[in-house]
Amino acid sequence: MTDTGAMQRRKPEWLRTRLPGGDAYFALKNKLEKRGLHTICQSARCPNAHECWNSDQATFLVMGDICSRDCRFCAVRPGRPLPLDPEEGRKLSEMAALMSLRYAVITSVTRDDLPDKGSGHFARIIRELKLARPQMRIEVLVPDFSGRDELLDAVLDAGPDVLAHNVETVPALYAKVNRRPAAFADSLRVLEHGKERGWVTKSGVMVGLGESADGLHDLFRELRARGTDLLTIGQYLQPDARSLPVERYYSPGEFAALKAEALGHGFIGVESGPFVRSSYHAEELFLQVSRALSRIQ
């Protein structure tokens, strides 16, 4: 008897292709490693790393690699996070210069252990980067800060170009992925408050965890109701044995249909595809929204 469920969950052809590579990629990787510097592009073995690096973009994970939460789709180690590194902003500036970056995405683990949840550290890093490399655009991909406006304000006051916060999946699956049900409202509040303060806002969702089509439809609607400008949609891939298994692989055609649906909801820019991650084509999405907003003004 054929196990059709297992067939559907077997990794399809279009996901079996890419590993980062190329001489330029490895040369830069060596330079960074010699200095003890890491990007999330390398740490997560992102399949888009060489494409992003070749277009002078990279994503940095700050505030350590141990998270105070334990989402069941995420490869980051849960536990007691490390003390903050006061030199982190300087090190990132050095790395950004080494990589000649034009666009940097700064993200972090969730730091529920800190009184300000790491918002002050985020702000210091943004300020240092802007001072050291004023020509570089900065996108922050922040945790939910438990929905506290004043913590997000500290980050926004430092002046990033884009505020990103990922809702990750539909709210009906929050318990399954080990997120508090209230975390969805906190996430929406981050996006809503960012927009109230005039920021370009962006969110990301993974598909393949067991969400329904209606659930995605409602999610797009909720995000647009908070004025979210940009959206990324990518395939969930189980990062390790302790994480949730993939429920379903979406075909490239289904990703195209999700993109069309999201654009129909009014997002200004949408990246949707099997390999799309929240920072994929980040600068292009930023430029799309900038052009659209300048036409309106």
Q: Whole-number minimum distance, CB 219 to ligand SF4, in Å?
A: 17
Among 40, 58, 71, 152, which residue interacts with ligand SF4 (rule: CB under 6 A)? 71
The stretch among 35-43, 65-73, 79-87, 191-199 that binds ligand SF4 (CB under 6 A) is 65-73
The residue among 57 and 110 lying less far from ligand SF4, judged by its C-beta, is 110
The residue among 55 and 238 lying less far from ligand SF4, judged by its C-beta, is 238
Q: Whole-number minimum distance, CB 157 to ligand SF4, in Å?
A: 23
Among 58, 74, 209, 244, which residue interacts with ligand SF4 (rule: CB under 6 A)? 74
Residues between 254 and 283 that touch ligand SF4 (CB under 6 A): none
Among 46, 49, 52, 76, which residue interacts with ligand SF4 (rule: CB under 6 A)? 76
Q: Is 109 in the site for ligand SF4 (CB under 6 A)?
A: yes
Q: Whole-number minimum distance, CB 77 to ligand SF4, in Å?
A: 9
Q: Is 95 in the site for ligand SF4 (CB under 6 A)?
A: no
Q: Is 62 in the site for ligand SF4 (CB under 6 A)?
A: no
The residue among 136 and 140 lying less far from ligand SF4, judged by its C-beta, is 140
The residue among 76 and 268 lying less far from ligand SF4, judged by its C-beta, is 76
Q: Tell how far CA 90 is from the center of its chain.
A: 22
Concatenating the DSSP letter of every residue in the chain gives ---HHHHHHSPPGGGS------HHHHHHHHHHHHTT---HHHHTT-TTHHHHHHTTEEEEEES-SEESS--TT--SEESSPPPP-TTHHHHHHHHHHHTT-SEEEEEE---TTSTTTTHHHHHHHHHHHHHH-TTSEEEEE---GGG-HHHHHHHHHT--SEEE---BS-GGGTTTTT--THHHHHHHHHHHHHHHTT-EEEEEEEE-SS--HHHHHHHHHHHHHTT--EEEEEE----STTSPPP--PPPHHHHHHHHHHHHHHT-SEEEEETT--TTTTHHHHHHHHHHHHHHH-
Q: Is 92 in the site for ligand SF4 (CB under 6 A)?
A: no
Residues between 122 and 161 that touch ligand SF4 (CB under 6 A): 143
Pairwise CA distance, residues 296 & 29, whole Å: 41
Q: Is 69 in the site for ligand SF4 (CB under 6 A)?
A: yes
Residues that bind ligand SF4 (CB under 6 A): 67, 69-71, 74, 76, 109-110, 143
